[in-house]
Amino acid sequence: MSVPRALVVAAGLIAAWEALVRVADLPHYILPAPSRVAAEFVGRADVLLLHGLSTAAEIVLGLSGGLVLGALTALAMVRFAAARRWGLPLLVVSQAIPVFAIAPLLVLWLGYGMASKVAMAVLVIYFPVASASYDGLRRTNPGYLDLAKVMGASPWQILLRVRLPAALPAFAAGARVAASVAPIGAVIGEWVGASSGLGYLMMQQLARGQTPLAFAALVVLASMAVALYFAVDAAMNRLTSWQPAIDGETRS
């Protein structure tokens, strides 16, 4: 979608929202008008910044941790038969447990601080990254492996120089999914129990009828999530620049 068109759509939606609130004369604690939410950005910028930074740190740490752990798990499962035999069922079973249901446990074990939110984000991200990377590592073109074998490459060299780069597009797909779910993990963690963060700020302000500030927090959170996605997407495109674009569009 082109940028001008996206801006027009956004402006139209905001205008419709503003009109709805004014025409229906909705109270601000039910649905604040966009102009009212915008006022919060000016008046409460310090609060939003403080909690935004806290959530951003949780998301970035959780995303990094989840990507690294997921990729390492996939590597271990491809390289070692024992890791595959024991790890694969564990991975599948771990996904049967709704991660959100154990959020209270994480808070119980890791406390109200940042650690429980980072752990939550890591858990949400871990599976898509591990399974996408594992799939990618397993699906190396068998011809590449034959060639490497005839050339006398060791299994480690084959893993590092053939399977790993060949799996990068799959890892990139996993990382894109991870980037879009990481904020969810962090915010769920904040809802269950926290002393800072945008999720915490939203819960607190909603309980006090300060809906406009909660909406402002939501806008910050959404902007962060979108920025994160595009940043990760750009990084992954760079990492797999050799791969022809799937949709037929050329990449810059």
Instruction: Give the footprint of another protein on this chain (CB under 8 A).
Output: 141, 143-144, 146-154, 157-158, 161-162, 165-166, 168, 240, 242-244
In whole angstroms, the minimum distance from the beta carbon of 10 to another protein comes to 37
- For residue 79, the number of C-alpha atoms closer than 13 Å in the C-beta half-sphere is 16
Task: Quote the least distance from Cβ 62 to another protein, whole Å.
Answer: 29
d(CA 219, CA 89): 39
Q: Nearer Cβ to another protein, position 69 or 153?
A: 153
| Sequence-separated (6 or more) residues with CB below 8 Å from residue 116 | 103, 106, 107, 109, 110, 189, 192, 193, 194
Residue among 140 and 205 whose Cβ is closer to another protein: 140
2 vs 154, beta carbon nearer another protein? 154
CB 52, CB 224: distance < 8 Å: yes
For residue 87, the minimal CB distance to another protein (Å) is: 26
In the complex, the smallest distance separating the C-beta of residue 152 from another protein, rounded to whole angstroms, is 5
| Residue 64 CB, nearest approach to another protein (Å) | 23
| Total residues found in the chain within this entry | 252
Amino acid at 163: R
On whether the CB atoms of residues 136 and 167 are closer than 8 A, the answer is: yes
CB of 149 to another protein, least distance (A): 7
**Nearest CA among 92, 86, 184, 97 for reference residue 131:** 92
Least distance in Å: CB of 79 to another protein?
A: 16
Angle formed by the axes of helices 114-138 and 103-110, nearest 10°: 120
From the CB of residue 86, how many other CB atoms can be counted at a distance below 10 Å?
12
Residue 157 vs 223, nearer CB to another protein: 157
Nearby residues of 205 by Cβ (< 8 Å), 6 or more positions away: 211, 213, 214, 217
| Residues sharing a CB contact under 8 Å with residue 187, sequence separation 6 or more, in sequence order | 55, 197, 198, 199, 221
Residue nearer to another protein on the CB measure, 4 or 152: 152
Please identify, using beta-carbon distances, which residue of 2 and 250 lies nearer to another protein: 250
Which CB atom, from 33 or from 148, has the smaller least distance to another protein? 148
